[in-house]
Structure formats: structure tokens, C-alpha cells
Structure 1
Amino acid sequence: MRQLSELDASFLYLESANAPMHIGSIYVFDASERETPLAFSTFIAYLRSRLHVVPVFRQLLKEIPLRMGRPYWIDDPDFSIERHLAYVSLGENSRESHLMTLASRILEDPLKRDRPLWHITFVDGFRLGDDKEGKAGFALIVKLHHAAIDAFSGAEIMGKLMEYTPEPQPIRTPRPWQPRPKPSEERVVIQAGVNMLRTPWRATSLAVGAAEATVRGLIQKQLRKIPLPFPLFSAPHSPFNRQITANRQIISAKVDLSRLKAIKASLVDVTLNDVVLGLCAETLRRYLDDQGASTSESLIAMTPISVRSSTLNKATGSQMSAMLLDLATDERNPAQRIRRIHWNAVASEPYREAIAADRLTELLPSTMLALSARLYSELQIAQRYQPVFNLPITNVPGPQVPLYLQGARLVQQYNAAPLFDSLGLVIVAVSYQGSLTLNFTICPDVVAHGESLRSHVCDSLDAIEIAANKLAPEEMYTPLEESRSQTLADDAMNLLEGALQKLTARFRR
């Protein structure tokens, strides 16, 4: 049995009817080079032959009685691939807009817990382009639970399931697989008890951590009374931070990666990720202007960072860190804004250290984390007080070479991320074969006129290019400096935190 981490378990406990915790992807394939259309039965045989590369596809959750501990992944003794597949033919409605509407409806439904946490819908009869004679193709709508994968490992998994050659490879006989025996209830309870005995200090650690968090909150509250900017702890109110419903909508915009790289080269000492975040920031600013919302305060984004390759080295699961990032949306010049985003992400002290996601969940058990999130939603805290951050933005680098599935070329990928209570907008940026697609997952009952985001992306990129060309050389090389007031706030927080850490260290000995 392999136990879930606190972070992975928290995605299970955070799930509700209005907030399913799965990652969604829509893959569009051009099958015009195939002699015959790809049959659904052929796809099933192909997927069955490659299940061995993704062990979690045949594992389900085993809950601990009375939630005495985190669930375990165990082999599904009744695994049947047919339970995870569905077939849809769009018929006359075989256009991209209808595909995205279908995907939005499918992604609204939570995955069933009595089986491995994934599902694929095969969409047949799809036509690429807007005319009736568009190229023949098909699409896959994929759901993978966030407890099993994150956005980064999800991209790797789909890469393993596809091919790198346009010639269809022979579909091999599936490798023999025998599920390991399902553990008895007695064994699960005993294992949970052993885990509790192995960490007798955990209750004390949690109590001390809670006390530390309480005192830290009091410190922050006092610092906020001082007229100093403190963006790390006080994101502004925005139209995105309201209670969500179960409705979902996916809106995407595609841009050439070469244009973003040209902006990076012209601005000097910024990264491509800074440019992507700057494009998101300009898009959001234009949207807020259109909606008559205030842009006087800068939006704060939560940006996940993968740590799988550097530290955790596991095959699946949510293995990431995150940082809170000031998007500088109060800066009117979109080129200068990118430089400020770079400064906020790299040089400015409040953002220098990423928040380790697994460390955060160590302080509170996943069940308590879920309860806190539910209370946060039901008491409408985000609407009564300032939120910690306004939206998550994830940038996932994808392959720059074409991928294939039995001779059909992957031409477009769209992505959807889970929406949390009081977070009605998430952005996932994915690059593939020379292009970058910005994917906006929205709750249309919270984010009105979301379709305008697509045009705002194109206008924003044009505006950034113009502003970058107009930037004088001295403006590009002049270092940005922290304000004296921000430095004072940082020094005060560091001094008080140092004293607090020394105090709590005594209790941990």
C-alpha cells in the first residue's frame, strides 16, 4: 500500500459538488493522413497496451476507517478499462466551439471514487477548421484527479501515452498484470495505528505550528496598521474572488512562442516565464477595465513550481512548491510591468523563497485543511476580507516536437484546472510545437463575459510588443529598487519571526 501525502489527501477532502479536484485536458488530433478513421475499438486496444507506463491508472483509493489517517493507493482487483472510457460522436456539430462546450460539461462532474481516478472521452467525427470540409480528426477529453498528479506530471503522463513518429506503431499485446491482494480492513487499521506510533511528536508539532501561525497572524495584523505596502498578505478584492457554482467554461487563446521570445530578448534580464506572466497580467488588466473594476491595486497570483525533478523524485502525485507573486497590474506600461514581475519573482525579498506546498500541509492535517477551506467559503471570508491571492497561474512547458497517436498528429491541446471556493478563475499556459496556449478555466457565474479574455490576449500581446520597442535603453538597464517602507516592513517581520522561531524551537526539543 502506498499512502497519499498530506497535500494529495487535501485535494480529496477539498473536493465538493461545486469544486471537483481534477485536472482536465482536451487533445485535438488531425487524422487526415490515416488511410481510415481511428476506430474507438482501436483506441481502446492502443491504450490497453500502454497502461503499464502509468501504474496509477490501475490503482484506486482505500480509505481509513474513521479517517484515522490518509488514504492509500491499492491495486484495483476489479479493474476494467471500459469503466474509464466513453464514446461521443458530435455529428453535425463537429466544430471546436461544440467540442469545448462538451468538454466543459464533462469536466463539471467529479470523478467516481469507487475506481481509479481518471476518465477519457473519445470524441469521434471531429472536423478541424470552421468549414464543413475540414480535415478529419478526433479529440480526447481527459480527466485526472489532482490527488494522483499535478499539472507537470500530468503532461509527462500524456507524453508517455503518445508516440513521436507519424507511422502508426504496431499495437502490442498488453503486458500481463496481476493486482496485488486487496488489504483487509484489519490490516488497514493496524497500519494506520503503526503510522501514528511512528510519529508520536506529530500532535505536539501541530499544536506548536498552530500557535506559531496564530502569533504570526497577530504580527501581520499589527504591521498592516502601519501605512506600509504589504502585498504578500493583502491581495485586493477582485471580481474573481467570489463564491463559485458548479458551472464551468474553458476559454483559450493561442499565440506564437517566437513573439514571446522576441519580447524576452528586447527587455533584457527577464525570463520567458516573466513574459508569459506579463501577458496574463495585461490581459487581466484589460478585462478589469472592461468590467469597470478597479485596477489601482495590483493583483496577486499564486504560481506553482514543480519540484519533482529536483527533490521528490516520485512518479506521480502533486509534487510542487508555490510562491505568491505581485503581477504589477497597477503599472500602466506593459513592458515595464514585465520587468517588475521579474523583480518581484527574483529580487524582492518577500518573494525570494517559494512556499513548500507539502510543508504547508504538515502544519494542519488534510481533514482540518478541508474544513478550513469549507468555512472560508461558507462564511464568505474572501468577500468580507481581502483574499490571500486572486488567482493561480501555472506555466507548463510542453514538447516542441509533434506528438502522434496511431498516425494522427496532435495539433492542439487545451487544459483546465480545478476552481477553488472563492477563486473563479485559473490560468494554465501550455507550450507545444512553437505555440503557447493560454487556457482560462472560469466559473461563468462569477467571471462575466469570459469570452472577451480571448481577444484581450491578442490585444495585450500587441500592446506589449509596442511598449517594449518604445522602451529606452536606460529604462531597460536601470535596476528597480525596493521602497524604503517595504524594506522596513520586511526587516520588522524578519526580526519578529526570528524571535518567534527561537521561542517555538524550545517546545520542539
Structure 2
Amino acid sequence: MKQLPGLDASFLYLETPQMPMHVGALHLLELPAGYDGDYVADLREHMRARLPLLPALRRKLLTMPLGLSNPGWVDAEPDLEEHIVEIPLPEGSGMAELEAQVGALHPVLLDRARPLWKFHVFTGLEPGPDGQVRVALYTQLHHAAVDGQAAVALAQVILDLSPEPRATESLPARGRKRGQLGTVGLLRAAVSQQWQQTVKLARALPGAAGILGNMAAGYVGGVAAGSAVDKLRALLAAVSDAAAQTTAVVRGKTAVSSLGPAPRTRFNVSLSDTRSFAGVTLPLAELNRARRRHGASVNDAVLFVIGGALRRYFAKHGPQPRKSLIAAVPVSTRAAGDTTSNNQATMSFMSLGTHLANPADRLAHVMASSHAMKAQMAQLKSLMPTDFPSLGIPWLMQAGAMLYGRAKVAEKLPVIANVVISNVPGPQVPLYLAGALMLTNYPTSIAVHGLALNVTVQTYHQSLDIGLMACGEALPETAELAAYVEAAFMELQALPVAEVAAEPAPAVKKRAPAKKAAAKPVAAKKAPARRRVAKAA
């Protein structure tokens, strides 16, 4: 038995019917020409062959006595008849029907008596342009078991580079069986884990204090010989600056925007037990050409596009916030090459510049905000613990999660962020699942109380696939928002280079205004129909 680290276990404790804690994706799959088999049966056989290489899918939870500490993982052989199920749709169904199915299935919690994953295969879809037979797959994996990067590692084991599945080495299942540990053994394991977590946390504290001390040095400066109060103020200033939205340079003008409070919007509410979902695909090569012209990163481009879409959405549905919307952006702390199936991530906050009408100003704002946050996270991400003592935590967190939703606490607390935006690097080549070509990879992630919209982006082959998951009551118009994403992407493509201020150097607080071209911005082309996602990759 292996007990869950604190961060992994927190996804179990926070889960309620209004806040399911599983992640996954919606895949459109194209079957080989002339295929006349049973794809669901073929997929089960494919997964049966790969399961020895997928320990994260061959384990289930074992609760500690009295629920005093984090549960553990024990080996369990999944029943593939229960974990891979077929859902027939009306003949000729398309993306709208698939999105509705994901919205209906996402609030259904995974059975904790089984391994925490499930695959839903949709049949009855409209054929491809040349009559190709298509099916779709909606996957669910609990966030207690994997984060975004760990899910990508799992996909590398499950998927193939050709229609012909590769041969895999059969490995025996490892680990203790549930019956090998009695109550006394479980209590000993729980106490041992508490001790190890406490020692680990204590050892990390001096290093954390050193990092904060170094960050404070720049603020203490002339008060090094001053009073203790002065030094404390300087240290607090360092921590506040590291956690706050920092200086953004927009066309040569310095504009300081505080992280909090963010503007209150219709997204900053307690969730219902309904979900609305939409997927949209952007061409990766065209996005790279557009963002490179301005010296922007892929993440900068994603934030600009999502911010532009949200600005359009609020312009129609109102009210348009006067302050910039703030995005909570997960940041991976996973070391290169680490494929462990657990959570290794922390959270940063980014201003989207949605208060700026001019798209050039917004892009410069996002780039400056991103630059400052990267510098901060390089120091801060080592301070974020993924494991900590958990004695009594299960009771407290579970009760707190239920009370938080029922009492509608999200409507009463200051707003720190308005939306979650996550960018997960994915495979750059076409992939196959049980012989079927994967055409799309729309992530399906988690909306939480106070943040009713989650936007997760993943690169796949020649595309950038975006999944919009929202509370069905707070934001039922995810399909409309998906259309605005395409419009904002066209806006990025049409933006003249001379209209964007260069990214500032880290230490520069003020700079001369950038020269602007006399030409007016080029009008954006009409966005293509969103049904382009049905094209072969």
C-alpha cells in the first residue's frame, strides 16, 4: 500500500456532486478503411494488453481507519466491462451532440470502490468527408491520481504511432493486496506517514526561509540596520510582490495592476451540479507564425486569445468589467523526464488585459505580465509543498468543501481570479488508439466554486485543441464562447507587428514609448466555422 501525498489527497476531500475532481479529454477517432469490427471490444482488448504498463489504472483507494489520514493505493484489477462502456447516439450525430454528452457525464462522480477511471465510447457519429467511419471517446481520470503532465505520460503508453498496435512486454502486477494489511497495520502506516511528512516539511522550512530572505534583500536594502519592524515590512513587501500582479508596460506607459481583488463576474459563484462543455481547434502552425511576429510565447498567445474571447463575451452579455480579468494559471513543478502518476503543480496568477480595448495594448500587457510572473515562479515554485501532515485533514477538508458550496461562500469572499487557464504540452505527431486515428484531443478539466470556467489547452499534432468546461448555470453558452475564441485568434493574426510594444527587460521600471506605425490595424478575416474540428489531423 502507498498512501497519497497531501496534494493528491486534497482532490478527494474537495470533491462533491457540485465539484467533481476528474480530468480527461474528448477524442474524435477515425476507424481504418473497411473496418467492420466492434471497436468497443477491440478497445477493451487493447487496454487489457496495456494495463500491466499502467499502474495508475490498476489501483483503487483504501481508506484509513476512522478516516484520520490520507487513504492509500492498493492493487485492483479493473473490470473492463465497467470501465469501458458504449453510448450509442442517434445516427449522424456531430460535435454538438458530443459536447452535450460530455456536459451531462462530467458531473457524474467516479466510483471510489473501483480504480478511478472510465472510458465512454460514442457510436452513431456522422462519417468523415470521404465516408470514413468515426467514433468518439470521452475519458475520465481522477485528479487524485494524475495531473496534466502525468495524463500525457499515460497517453504515451496507451497510444501508438501507427494503426498497428506495437508489441508490449507483459509485466506482473506489483504491490500489496488489501487483505495483507489489517487495522493495526493500517494505523502503523498512517502514523509512519505522519512522521515522514512532518520531518520532510521541517527539513524544507530553512530552505524556504532562505529563498524568502534573498527575495527580501532587495527590499530591505537601506533598512538593513533599521528596526525589526522595518525589516518585517520589507520581508512582507517581498512576499507580496512575489504573489502580486506586477508592472506591465503598455506602449511605453507603466501601469501597475494589483492581483487582488479581481473584478467580480458571473463566473465567480458557487457551482451547480450541471456542466456545459465546448471544444475548439486552432491551427498550430498559423498560431506560431502569428505569435513569433510579436516575440510572444505560445502561452502568451493562448492568454491573449482567451482574454479576447472573454472580452467579447462580456461585451454581449455584460457587464464588461472595468478592471482586467485575472486568470489562475497552473504551473508544473515536475522535473524533466518524471512520469510519476501524481500531482506536481502549483498556481500562478496572470492579468489578461481585458480592460484594454486595443488588441495591441492587450498583447503587450499579457507579455509583460507573463515575463514578470515567470521570474517570480522560478523562485516561488520550490516553496509550494505537495505533501504535508494530514492527521484529521480528511474530516476538516470534506466538511469544509460541503459547507463552502452550501453556504455560497464564493459569493461572499473577495475575488482573487476569474477563470482557470491551463496550457499542457502534448504530442506533435498523429497518434492511434486500438487502430483508430485520433483526430482531436479536447481537454475536459475541473471547474471549482468561485471559478465557474476552466479553459484547458493542449497541443496535438498540427493543432491547438481547447476545452471549455463551465458550470451549466453560470455559463451555459460555451459554444458561443468557443466561436469568440476563433474570432480572437483571427485578431491575433491580423495584428500589425509595429502596433505591439516590445517586452520589457526584467529590471526596467520605465521606458520610452515605442514608435507606432501610421497605418491602421488590418481588419480581421471572418472566423472559419467551428466544425473544422471534424477534419482529419
- Alpha-carbon distance in 1 for matches of 2:257, 2:499: 29
Residue number among 277, 293, 303 corresponding to 2:319 in the alignment: 293
Query: Which whole-Å deviations, capped at 9, do the CAs of 1:440-480 have from their partners, x for residues lacking one?
Result: 101120014332112111211122222334516xx336769
Alpha-carbon contact 1:322-1:354 (below 8 Å) kept? no
On the 8 A contact 1:251/1:439 being kept in 2, the answer is: yes
Report whether the alignment pairs 1:309 with 2:335.
Answer: yes
| CA spacing shift, 1:243–1:357, aligned 2, 3 Å | farther
Task: State the alpha-carbon separation in 1 of the partners of residues 497 and 290 from structure 2.
Answer: 9
1:340 positional shift: 2.0
CA contact under 8 A between 1:346 and 1:352: conserved in structure 2?
no
- Output the CA distance in 2 between the equivalents of 1:370 and 1:325: 29
User: 1:431 and 1:200 mapped to 2: Cα distance?
Assistant: 39
What CA distance in whole angstroms lies between the structure 1 residues aligned with 2:144 and 2:62? Answer: 13
Match of 2:309 among 280, 283, 292: 283
Question: Counterparts of 1:379 and 1:356 in 2: how far apart (Å)?
Answer: 34
Q: Does the 8 Å CA contact 1:89/1:123 hold for their aligned counterparts?
A: yes
Partner of 1:115: 114
State the secondary structure of the residue aligned to 1:436: strand
Once residues 173 and 397 of structure 1 are traced to their aligned partners in structure 2, the CA distance between those partners, rounded to angstroms, is 27
Query: Which residue number in structure 1 is paired with residue 350 of structure 2?
Result: 325
1:28 maps to 2:56: no
Pick the aligned partner of 2:191 from 193, 216, 220. Answer: 193
Deviates more, 1:147-156 or 1:324-333: 324-333
| Partner secondary structure for residue 40 of structure 1 | helix
| Residues 289/352 of structure 1: CA separation in 2 closer, same or farther (3 Å cut) | farther
1:249 and 2:276 matched: yes
- 1:406 deviates by 3.4
Q: Given that residues 29 and 436 in structure 2 are in contact (C-alpha distance below 8 angstroms), is that contact kept between their aligned partners in structure 1? A: yes
Give me the TM-score of the superposition, normalised by structure 2.
Answer: 0.78
1:23 aligned counterpart, secondary structure:
strand
2:470 alignment partner in structure 1 = 442
Give the 3 Å change call, closer, same or farther, for CA 127–382 of structure 1 in structure 2: same
**What residue is the counterpart of 1:138 in the other structure?**
135
Letter in 2 for 1:327: L
1:430 equivalent to 2:485? Answer no
Letter in 1 for 2:260: F
The 5-angstrom pairing of residues 70-149 of structure 1 reads: 70-76=70-76, 79-129=78-128, 134-149=131-146
Which has the larger displacement, 376-385 or 338-347? 376-385
Name the amino acid aligned to 1:138.
Answer: V
Number of residue-to-residue matches in the alignment: 466
CA shift digits 1:263-318 (9 cap, x unpaired): 222112x211111111111111111111122231011111112222349x352011
Deviation at 1:350, TM superposition (A): 6.4
Q: What is the aligned partner in structure 2 of residue 273 from structure 1?
A: 299
Deviates more, 1:196-205 or 1:329-338: 196-205
Consecutive unaligned residues of structure 1, counting only runs of 5 or more, are: 485-509
Partners of 1:179 and 1:192 lie apart in 2 by: 17
Distance, in Å, in 2 between the alignment partners of 1:242 and 1:41 is 42
Query: Does 2:463 correspond to 1:465?
Result: no
Q: Is the 8 A contact 1:125 1:136 kept in 2?
A: no
Residues 149 and 424, structure 2, Cα contact 8 Å, conserved in 1: yes
**Percent identity between the aligned chains?**
25
Q: For the residues of structure 2 that align with 1:253 and 1:113, how far apart are their CA atoms?
A: 32
User: Structure 1: how far apart are the matches of 2:8 and 2:99?
Assistant: 28
CA distance in 1, matches of 2:421, 2:442: 15
Rounded to whole Å, the distance in 2 between the matches of 1:329 and 1:375 is 33
CA contact (8 A) 1:119 1:143 kept: yes
- What's 1:342 paired with? 367
Q: Which deviates further from its counterpart, 431-440 or 383-392?
A: 383-392
**Residue 218 of structure 2 corresponds to which residue in structure 1?**
none
CA distance in 1, matches of 2:174, 2:191: 28
What is the alpha-carbon distance in structure 2 between the residues aligned to residue 460 and residue 84 of structure 1? 38
Q: Distance in 2 between matches of 1:383 and 1:37?
A: 52
Deviation string for 1:216-253 (max 9, x for gaps)?
79x98xxx9xxx96622322211111111111111122
Once the two structures are overlaid, the 10-residue window that deviates more, 459-468 or 276-285, is 459-468
Amino acid at match of 1:58: R
Structure 2 gaps of 5+ residues are 209-231, 245-254, 512-537
Q: 1:142-194 CA distances to partner (integer Å, 9 max, x unpaired)?
A: 1000000012211221231011013x237779655476332222211121123
Match of 1:12 in 2: 12
For residues 91-123 of structure 1, give each alpha carbon's deviation from its aligned partner in whole angstroms, at most 9, with x where no partner exists: 425322222222222222000010110011122
- Which residue pairs with 2:261 in the alignment? 234
**Which amino acid in structure 1 is aligned with residue 20 of structure 2?**
P
Which residue does the alignment assign to 1:494?
none
Give the Cα separation in 1 of the matches to 2:383 and 2:138: 28
Q: Which amino acid aligns with 2:120?
A: T
Tell me the equivalent position of 2:214.
none
Distance in 2 between the 1:397 and 1:482 partners?
A: 32
Secondary structure of 2:439's partner?
Answer: strand
Residues 330-384 of structure 1: CA deviation (Å, up to 9, x unaligned):
2222233223222212236766655568527749875345544444434433323
After superposition, the Cα gap between the structure-2 partners of 1:400 and 1:180, relative to the gap in structure 1 and judged at 3 Å, is same
Tell me which residue corresponds to 1:492: none
Q: Please, what TM-score do these two structures have when normalized by structure 1? A: 0.82
Give the letter aligned to residue 385 of structure 1.
L
CA contact (8 A) 1:391 1:425 kept: yes
Aligned to 1:419: 447
Kept after mapping to 2: 8 A contact 1:289/1:295: no
Quick check: 1:10–1:370 contact (8 Å CA) kept in 2? no
User: How far apart are the structure 2 equivalents of 1:37 and 1:271?
Assistant: 44
Take 2:195 and 2:335, find their aligned partners in 1: how far apart are those partners?
31
Report if aligned partners of 1:33, 1:408 keep a CA contact under 8 Å in 2: no
Q: Mark the CA change 1:26 to 1:448 in structure 2 (over 3 Å): closer, same or farther.
A: closer
The residue aligned with 2:157 is 160
The answer for the alignment partner of 2:60 in structure 1 is 60
The residue matched to 1:402 in structure 2 has which SS? coil
CA 1:483/1:476 → structure 2, altered by over 3 Å: closer, same or farther?
closer
